[in-house]
Structure 1
Amino acid sequence: MIRKARMADAKAIHKLLLSYAQQGLMLSRSLADIYEGIRDFYVFEVDEQVVGTVCLHICWSDLAEVRSLAVDAAQEGRGVGRKLVDACLDEARGLGLQRVFALTYKPVFFGKLGFHEIEKSELPHKIWSDCIKCPKFPECDEIAMSIEFRDPAAD
């Protein structure tokens, strides 16, 4: 089951994200950061246990980032990540956003969801505020991917 995160989920989210950060697959996020941004998170529950999480971070009036996607290793390959990203994309469409991006080491996964590879230089400089905290900065090896939504009002 997917739902918006609650305060009680923060420690489980932190644990999932920490496991990915320790593998060098994403930036570490403090528990305080998670509490502060809890409204941006979704969780996926199995038997009342949080086994996946993702965050939709709004960057600008027309742009958001899918970030902090983490799935418990025991649940990988079961569609948990896809469902979490789909929830973010549904919310982005509902908010009227025109574009969502992700910085990832899993371009095939995001490609299957309709994202396409872009140059990082296409993204506004404002989004790089988190990158400065990364030990890989400025030699980022993540792949930038983006999905755009058609504006039905333009038809």
Structure 2
Amino acid sequence: MRIFNATTADVYSIYELIKIYADKEIVLPRSLLSIYQQLQCLYVVKDENKVVGVAGLHVLGRDLAEVRSLVVHPDYQQKGIGRMLVDHIIMESPKLGIERLISLTYQVEFFKKLGFQLAIRDDLPEKVWTDCVNCPKINNCDEIALVKYLQNHDSKTAVV
């Protein structure tokens, strides 16, 4: 299995994979149009030609980006695919000038193993005012905010 930049040929498979988890309210739903519009930010893992994992690197500000829509096909869970995708995003982020990665998630321990630490959602206005403001759970959000400071970033002086 390998990571690829997503292409238009992958869009419907990405949509169907995200839908599995969006229907369970684990991730936010994505329309086909939004996947097309954000295609250049998406990575997929394929087993042969089958998309079995997806994640997005969504830039929110000057030095801040989000790991978005991280999902792995149920038949491929616990095989390191999620870690492979997040590791790839961590590697690609500095090339864009990103110093901090965030995730709003229910998978706290997974992200902690990858070096993320707890953050306060309200300290992430870029995320709150772009996505959270449109979420039906905005006033009762149960996702946990996490942040990872990337290389060459002083987390002691940074405001999350």
Q: What is the TM-score when the length of structure 1 is the normalising length?
A: 0.94
Counterpart code for 2:12: K
- CA RMSD in angstroms, aligned pairs only: 1.1
Identity of aligned residues (%): 40
Determine the C-alpha separation between the residues in 1 that align with 2:4 and 2:48: 14
Give the structure 2 partner of residue 103 of structure 1: 104
The Cα shift of 1:150 comes to: 2.9
Give the structure 2 partner of residue 17 of structure 1: 18
Determine the C-alpha separation between the residues in 1 that align with 2:113 and 2:85: 14
Determine the C-alpha separation between the residues in 2 that align with 1:54 and 1:149: 18
3-state SS of the aligned residue for 1:77? coil
Determine the C-alpha separation between the residues in 1 that align with 2:122 and 2:134: 19
Give the structure 2 partner of residue 39 of structure 1: 40
Give the structure 1 partner of residue 5 of structure 2: 4
Give the structure 2 partner of residue 126 of structure 1: 126
Determine the C-alpha separation between the residues in 2 that align with 1:62 and 1:31: 28
Matches within 5 A, 1:6-155: 6-123=7-124, 125-128=125-128, 129-151=130-152
Give the structure 1 partner of residue 156 of structure 2: none
Aligned residues of 2:61 and 2:126 also touching (Cα < 8 A):
no
The Cα shift of 1:23 comes to: 0.6
3-state SS of the aligned residue for 1:138? helix
Counterpart code for 1:109: F
Aligned residues of 2:11 and 2:32 also touching (Cα < 8 A):
yes
Structure 1 residue runs without a partner (length 5+): none
Q: CA 1:35–1:26 in structure 2 vs 1: closer, same or farther (change >3 Å)?
A: same
Structure 2 residue runs without a partner (length 5+): 154-160
The Cα shift of 1:133 comes to: 2.5
Deviation readout 1:52-107 (Å, 9 max, x if unpaired): 00000001110000010010001000000000011111110222211000000000
Aligned residues of 2:52 and 2:76 also touching (Cα < 8 A):
yes
Paired residues in the alignment total 151
In the TM superposition, structure 1's runs of 4+ consecutive aligned residues that sit over 4 Å from their partners are: none
